[in-house]
Amino acid sequence: MNIILFGPPGAGKGTQSKYLVNKLKAFQISTGDLLREEIKKNSDIGKIIINDMTDGKFISDDIVNKLIEKLVFDPQKKNKLIFDGYPRSLSQAKNLEFLLKNSNQSIDLILFLNVDKETILKRLEKRKILENRSDDNSETIVRRYEKYMETTKPVLNYYSKNPNFQEIDGGLEIEEITRKIDTFINV
């Protein structure tokens, strides 16, 4: 199964991705993690993106699309892809469709973790202390939420028409969300 986890920053996409990876013996594709890895390696990409990442801005489609491309085409990962934080714009959604089509795959499930703004801001403030992420500071937290509303929300309107789209209340406890996700997975 190829699954997209969709929702604002702090919705719990990472947590549920890890659950799905374990359950389905699948592979998480977190563009945020891939980008943080580039920064850690101090690669050419890392040097280009470090400031925008810290400011909570989006990284260009060119860079992000390239990072996921080889993972989508990796035969070992075929039909075992869990997308976390990608796509985040309509053009990324179109790119993903193109890549999947060209590798004879499709999206089997789109899980939208719906969480209200107040809960998100509270969760990210908490994560700021727990994970010490450079982009989890009070200013960028709000900016990232606004960016989500502006650029990522339109992807939601697009995906909500897909027959494989499922909405889950992301404000629930982790275990409760996992239980609901289980009902959409036929293994």
Closer of 139 and 183 to ligand AMP (Cβ)? 139
Using CA atoms in the order 89, 91, 96, 101, what is the torsion angle rounded to 10 degrees? Answer: 150
Burial of 27 (0-12, 13-18, 19+ CB in 10 A): middle
Residues 84, 17 contacting (CB under 8 angstroms): yes
Residues 29-48 that bind ligand AMP (CB under 6 A): 31-32, 35
Closer of 86 and 183 to ligand AMP (Cβ)? 86
Q: Residues 89-118: x/- map of binding to ligand AMP (CB under 6 A)? A: ---x--------------------------
Least distance CB 137 / ligand AMP (angstroms):
12
Least distance CB 3 / ligand AMP (angstroms):
16
Least distance CB 183 / ligand AMP (angstroms):
25
Burial of 12 (0-12, 13-18, 19+ CB in 10 A): buried
Helix 61-72 and helix 44-54, axial crossing angle in degrees, nearest 10: 120
The stretches of the chain forming alpha helices (DSSP H) are 13-24, 31-41, 44-54, 61-72, 90-102, 117-131, 138-147, 153-159, 174-182
Closer of 174 and 179 to ligand AMP (Cβ)? 174
Phi, psi of 27 (to 5 degrees): -125, 125
d(CA 109, CA 89): 18
Closer of 168 and 187 to ligand AMP (Cβ)? 168
Candidate residues 56, 105, 141, 156; the one interacting with ligand AMP per rule CB under 6 A: 56
Q: Is 64 in the site for ligand AMP (CB under 6 A)?
A: yes
Q: Is 12 in the site for ligand AMP (CB under 6 A)?
A: no
d(CA 187, CA 184): 9
Q: Is 88 in the site for ligand AMP (CB under 6 A)?
A: yes
Candidate residues 27, 37, 50, 58; the one interacting with ligand AMP per rule CB under 6 A: 58
Q: Residue numbers of the site for ligand AMP (CB under 6 A)? A: 9, 31-32, 35, 53, 56-59, 64, 85-86, 88, 92, 135, 144
